Amino acid sequence: MKKLLSVCIAFLAAATPMFGQNIAEIKVFLENENYLAARKMANQLIAADATNASAYFYMGESYYEDEKADSAKIWYEKGSTANPKNLINQIGLGKLLLDNNKPAEAKKIFDQAVKATKSKNAEILYQIGVSYLRSSNRNADEAVKYLTLARDLNTKNPDYFLTLGDAYLYKGDGGNAMTNFESAIEKDAKNPRGYMRKAKLAKGAKIIEGAEGAIATYEKCISIDPNYAPAYKDLIELYYAEKKYSKVTELLAKYTQLVGNDIDARMRYVRFLVFQAKDYETAITEAQKVLQDDPKQYSMYRWLAWAQYEKGDYPASLASSKKLFENIGDNKVYASDYEYYANAALKNKDMTTAIAQWRNIMKLDSTKTDYYDQIAKYYFEEKDYPNAIKSYEEKMTKVKPSSSDYYYIGRSYYNLKDYKKADDAFLKVTELNATWPSGYAWRARSNDQLDPDSKLGLALPHYQKMISIAQSDPAKYSRDLVEAYLYMGYHYYQKNDLSAAKANYTEVIKLDPSNKTANDALSALNGSQE
């Protein structure tokens, strides 16, 4: 029995550093965005010791970093249950509360953890600081506060200096940021993260001049640690900007290898190709490979559709967008998905689909009112005037109406032969844009239709107003002016005011000497006056 006990004690003594080493490896996997590998190792640690709180925590972190908050929460909760005395997983839950805009509840958890550890647990303080720094509702001041406490308790850990430097950087304090980055390098000269942080800060402050200096610094990071994926990622962006595409291809292969060949990693790779590298051809190829290996990875159709659109293959982009929307829920759809779907449909002249997606976009983002214009103008151009009117009126319930809105409403009613409503709309045009001659011209036309024989002269005051404005640029508005003078010539002829009729027809001839109507009218008027 004693022998067995001695063996167990010896095993545990050996296992403790092993666990610490494995946690360090998990951190490296997380840094390299190789979340599947991180989870695999965390699972191994949990299988070996179901009370290993850190293993649960970093399992949760792998999901948190992978933007899967629900899964992260499950593992933080499991860790809290498995080892209630170790409060590290409570910090993870507090971080999720911050993300959900519940800072007071998060602070309560953090305060309880600090009190329970008597402010003496550097890792607890550090993770609270990280939570404030990494949360979508970032609080850099609180991050600096807790990270400083952690650093002061453990001045040998370079991670504490690095993260504190990041917090200062978010505060806009480049001096303190650089000081902490340099301290991290002093603690561990072989840690590439310190050099990389310095490079980014220096580049932003224009301490490193040009791309070559930045490239050299990132190459140094890689020489220190050839397996440090973030350095490759930044280098790829720099080389791409410098149009050194052979280097981009070389580094992408290495980067993909480092982040792992699991589906999630491959998806991030494709996303990187689309957004950062803008290598749409490679992105399409890699996305198709993923779908060939796993046809149920429907979200890959997102990046495929985007890449195909940017490459100019609009039929393929439309087909990929349809696949995406057929197979994923609305809660997993991005606003950009609707935009690419709509734009691809537009390029393929599938207006029914384009309009449907434009409406979906506006449901998600009420500020994108330009789509109302596109919808309404499409209906107008297709001579679907009832839907054009409806679309403009819908727009006007969301944003302040413009003279252009009322103009097209007026034109639509005019084409529907509802001249009274047309006139009402053109009245709004003239009220909103009192110096635009065409607004008055269309009021005149509408009233002319309401007064077919021109005897009442309903169009007269509107033509006169139009003339008074258009005369400043007769060449530009010659057609409207000719129309106005012809109308007034006929109106005054109807009123037997032959002198006024003659004067208006003469104005027509000045603008358009070959105008048959005016010439014939003048000949008749001159003949009648002989």
Same domain, 414 and 486: no
- Say if residue 451 is in the same domain as residue 524: yes
Which of 312, 333, 357 is the last residue in one of the domains?
357
CA angle, 351 as apex, 350 and 357 as ends, to 5°? Answer: 100
* DSSP 8-class letter at 456: S
Report, as an integer, the average pLDDT of 483-500.
94
| One domain for residues 523 and 439 | yes
Question: How far are the Cα atoms of 131, 343, 406, 409 from residue 389, in angstroms, in the given order?
Answer: 52, 23, 9, 5
**Whole-number Å distance between alpha carbons of 130 and 94:** 11
Q: pTM of whole model > 0.95?
A: no
Does residue 466 lie in a domain region?
Answer: yes
Please give the residue range of the domain that contains residue 349.
280-357
Query: Is residue 273 a part of any domain in this protein?
Result: no
Would 56 be classed as within a structural domain? no
**What is the C-alpha separation between 441 and 410, in angstroms, rounded?**
12
Query: According to DSSP H, which parts of 32-87 are helical?
Result: 35-48, 53-65, 69-82
Residue 305 maps to a domain: yes
CA distances from 272 to 268, 282, 300, 303, 351 (A): 6, 11, 13, 10, 31
- 337 and 284 assigned to the same domain: yes
DSSP assignment of 303-350? HHHHHHHHHT-HHHHHHHHHHHHHHS-GGG--HHHHHHHHHHHHHTT-
Q: How many CB atoms lie within 10 A of CB 500?
A: 15
pLDDT of residue 477 exceeding 80: yes
Of 91-95, 294-298, 308-312, 345-349, least confident by mean pLDDT is 294-298
Shared domain for 441 and 477, answered yes or no, is: yes
* Residues 527 and 439 reside in one and the same domain: yes
Residues 404 and 465 in one domain: no
What CATH number corresponds to the domain at position 323?
Answer: 1.25.40.10
Query: Residue 248 domain-assigned?
Result: no
> 452 and 517: one domain?
yes
- The whole-angstrom separation of Cα 173 and Cα 364 is 37
Boundary (domain end) residue, out of 333, 357, 381: 357
Residues 345, 325 share a domain: yes
In tens, the pLDDT along 137-194 reads: 899 999 999 999 999 999 999 999 999 999 999 998 989 999 999 999 999 888 888 8
Q: What's the pLDDT score for residue 259? A: 72
Q: Does 323 fall in a domain?
A: yes
The pLDDT assigned to 288 comes to: 94
pLDDT, tens digit (0-9, with 9 covering 90-100), for 498-510: 999 999 999 999 9
400: left (phi over 0), alpha (psi -120 to 50) or beta: beta
Indicate if 416 and 442 belong to the same structural domain. no
Domains contained in the chain, number: 3
Q: What is the pLDDT of residues 63-114, one digit of tens each?
A: 999 889 999 999 999 999 999 999 999 999 999 999 999 999 999 999 999 9
pLDDT digits over 251-269, tens only? 877 877 777 666 776 787 7
